[in-house]
Structure 1
């Protein structure tokens, strides 16, 4: 696997994991009781994107390491 291929694979894995991680721990403005005027009540009150990006990066690194190991050792 070339470095460009590895980066492309990590990029795809990272975005896939991000979409899986985004819904966890989200409370809507309606659930928290603090609706900002002019916004959708179902919008997240505190999305926590920095924390989710960190979690996504860690999970994506583990998934990438497994894929790379299988790719390198089983000649796929």
Structure 2
């Protein structure tokens, strides 16, 4: 059973969001940690989130993980029979 384009895009979409939520806390410093902040703002608010870099890294890391997953699928490591046997489920 081969992936269709829509299935591959859906898997990449979910993977991209998981990686984004994983990369969000990296490199963020709060206003409390830096000692600077505007009056009336939360001390835990980030000083500089650098979302552009995080989106770029998320896309790159997601593409690498997706590529490894597709390679493993085409090599036969990620097929339903093998995974169900690994989990002890009858197929």
TM-score range, shorter chain: over 0.9
Could you list the runs of 5+ residues in structure 2 that have no partner in the other structure? 80-91
Match of 1:2 in 2: 4
Residue 65 of structure 2 corresponds to which residue in structure 1? 63
Provide the aligned C-alpha RMSD in A.
Answer: 1.1
Larger relative contact order, structure 1 or 2 (CA cutoff 8 Å, min sep 6): 1
Between stretches 28-37 and 18-27, larger displacement belongs to 28-37
Structure 1 moving runs of 4+ over 4 Å: none
Offset from partner CA, 1:18-73 (integer Å, 9 cap, x none): 11111111100111122122221101100000100000100000000011111122
- TM-score under structure 2 length normalisation: 0.79
**Equivalent residue number for residue 45 of structure 2:** 43
Aligned residue pair count: 76
Larger Rg: 2
- Measured in 2, the distance between the counterparts of 1:72 and 1:2 equals 13
